[in-house]
Amino acid sequence: MFRIAHISDLHLLSLDGARMLDFANKRWIGGLNLLSNRSRHYQSERFEAAIEDMKGQNIDHVLCTGDITNLAFKQEFEFAKSLFEKFSLPPSEVTVLPGNHDAYVKKGAEHFHEIFQEHFVSDDGMAQWPLLRTRGNISIVGLSTSLQTPWFTAYGVVGKEQLTKLDAMLAAIPAGQLKLVALHHPVVGKPAESRIRGLKDREALVEVLQKYEVDVVLHGHEHRSILSFAGKIPVLGVPSGTYSLDKPNRRASYRVLTIEGNKITKVERRFINQAGDYESLAESDSVEGWHKVVVA
Ligand SMILES: [Fe+2]
Ligand SMILES: [Fe+2]
């Protein structure tokens, strides 16, 4: 049995966050607005609570699908890294992908690469995209859709080069492996189609995912629970792991996938209840069950 925890969109902010604004940067006005809103609604303590909760959940691997920071400053990545060190798992078992916020400023990608590198090293020892981490019968593939975008936009792009590598990577995965693909942006439906915050080359990506019959796609970015399908492939969007308001499909949560052999046998969402404790919401135990959830 193997248990994967999927968490996303932490938007971690320390109290130093407001002080660390780089006023030389042209984006500082947008940044200030964003920080004052974010600090109210995205609480770093909730990430620490999730890390604690995971310790009692027999989690073998954590998958974080990006937006770990707000403005992609070096200090934010350093603060985020200090929290990621609280996991009882080594970085090889805590996979982290970048989101659009992690490339908010130009140097974001560089900082992410430097500070979070050990969280996306592949089986072959390389830290590049797409990543491949093989854990028994499970092939975890991670993409980066993160790039600096114009003001007030938050879209993502996989890019031709990464797509070509993904095709070759999926082709080389032996038969019988469970193929799990993770990325920050959604791949289907209205959220993915948005010109402002969707995924530009989603159709080309879905074509590759279907060609190799990927078993499941995990994403973040929407800050709400979304269960959708790319053809037959279930696509699961997890809410933010640190959001403070208690709306059912937005409450701070992480999702747990239980895998036996090469089959997903259980999907649940762990969320913080009104009393501040984590609670489990069984979502389904089968792909057929997810179909029902989506139709309902
Ligand atoms: Fe986000
Ligand atoms: Fe995002």
Dihedral angle of Cα 227, 121, 258, 248, to the nearest 10 degrees: -40
Q: What is the set of domains in the chain, with CATH numbers?
A: 2-27+34-295 (3.60.21.10)
What's the CA-to-centroid distance between 222 and ligand 1, angstroms?
7
Using only C-alpha atoms, the chain has a radius of gyration, in whole angstroms, of: 18
Contact status, residue 82 vs residue 47, Cβ threshold 8 Å: no
Distance (angstroms) between ligand 1 centre and the Cα of 224 equals 10
How far, in Å, CA of 171 to CA of 164, rounded? 11
Q: Which residues contact 15 (CB under 8 A, 6 or more apart)?
A: none
Work out whether strand 233-237 and strand 216-219 pair parallel, antiparallel, or are unpaired.
Answer: parallel
**pLDDT score at 201:** 98
**Interval between CA 70 and ligand 2 midpoint (Å):** 9
Position 31 scores a pLDDT of 67
Q: Which one-letter amino acid corresponds to residue 14? A: S
pLDDT at position 74: 87
In the reported structure, the alpha carbon of residue 157 is separated from the centroid of ligand 2 by a whole-number distance in angstroms of 12
User: Could you report the average pLDDT of every consecutive run of 10 residues in the chain (296 residues)?
Assistant: 97 66 54 68 91 97 96 89 97 98 90 97 97 98 94 93 98 97 97 96 98 97 91 93 86 93 90 85 62 45
Q: Which ligand is nearest to the CA of 156?
A: 2
> Residue 294: its pLDDT value, please?
45
Ligand 1 center from residue 268 Cα (angstroms):
21
Q: Which 8-state DSSP code applies to residue 102? A: G
Query: 243 C-alpha vs ligand 1 centroid, how far in Å?
Result: 10
Q: In the structure encoding, which two tokens stand for residue 73, read together?
A: 């400053």
Which are the contacts of 39, defined by CB distance < 8 A and separation ≥ 6? 13, 17, 18
pTM confidence score: 0.92
CA of 286 from ligand 2 middle (Å) equals 28
* Residue 209 host element (H or E): helix 202-211
8 alpha carbon, closest ligand? 1
